[in-house]
Structure formats: C-alpha cells, structure tokens
Amino acid sequence: GQNIDQPTEMTATEGAIVQINCTYQTSGFNGLFWYQQHAGEAPTFLSYNVLDGLEEKGRFSSFLSRSKGYSYLLLKELQMKDSASYLCAGGYSGNTPLVFGKGTRLSVIA
C-alpha cells in the first residue's frame, strides 16, 4: 500500500514560520492534498498540488516535488488559531480513495 509519512508533533512561536514535511510513495501518484483539522472538528481542505513547485494562498503555501515524493506545507506569520492538526493526503490512480498520513499536531505558543 501507499504510505504517507509526516511528523507527529511540532511547536512554533506566534509570528514565526513553520514548515510541515510530508513524504509519500510515488508509484501511481496523482496529487497531494493538505487538510487542517482543529481539535474536535472535521478536517477542512487547504490545498492541492499536482505539479512541481510552490502554490501560495495567503499565509499558507504548499510545495510539491514529484520526483522526490516530497511535499511541505509552509505557514507564515503564525497565529494562535493555527494550532491544529495538519493532514497530508495522497491521491493515487485507479479511482482509489485518498491515502491520509496520521497528521502533524502543530502547537503555536506565545
């Protein structure tokens, strides 16, 4: 099966920049998703990358390298409300469901 790996926990300071990495298996890979999930709530869609490079969306950016099987989510100007879990998910060919990583719990501290 396809494995999605990401760090379990990260801590960063309010106002700083944090990068959350994700690695995935490249065989049959179609695209890479990032979701945000606040405690006790459902995951919400953040970004989708299918081509190599950086996609910027306000304070959040997502990067993909298809050849390396690597992605990261970059959060700038961190705010306390960014404390959440960030889920990396890979889309694969064959009309199969997304494969989710276990999520990275980010704590933003003052």
Partner 1 sequence: DVKVTQSSRYLVKRTGEKVFLECVQDMDHENMFWYRQDPGLGLRLIYFSYDVKMKEKGDIPEGYSVSREKKERFSLILESASTNQTSMYLCASSFSGQGARGNTIYFGEGSWLTVV
H-run or E-run covering 9: strand 9-13
**Per CB under 8 A, 31 contacts partner 1:** yes
d(CA 103, CA 4) in angstroms, rounded, equals: 9
| Residue 106 Cβ vs partner 1, minimum distance, rounded to whole Å | 15
Count of residues that interact with partner 1, criterion CB under 8 A: 21
Amino acid making up residue 58: G
**Per CB under 8 A, 77 contacts partner 1:** no
Q: Which stretch binds partner 1 (CB under 8 A): 29-37, 55-63, 66-74, 75-83?
A: 29-37
**Per CB under 8 A, 38 contacts partner 1:** no
Contact 20, 32 (CB under 8 A): no
d(CA 91, CA 2) in angstroms, rounded, equals: 10
Among 27, 57, 81, 93, binds partner 1 (CB under 8 A): 93
d(CA 109, CA 99) in angstroms, rounded, equals: 30
Residues of the shown chain interacting with partner 1 in the complex, contacts defined by CB under 8 A = 30-31, 33, 40-45, 48, 50, 87, 91, 93, 95, 97-98, 100-103
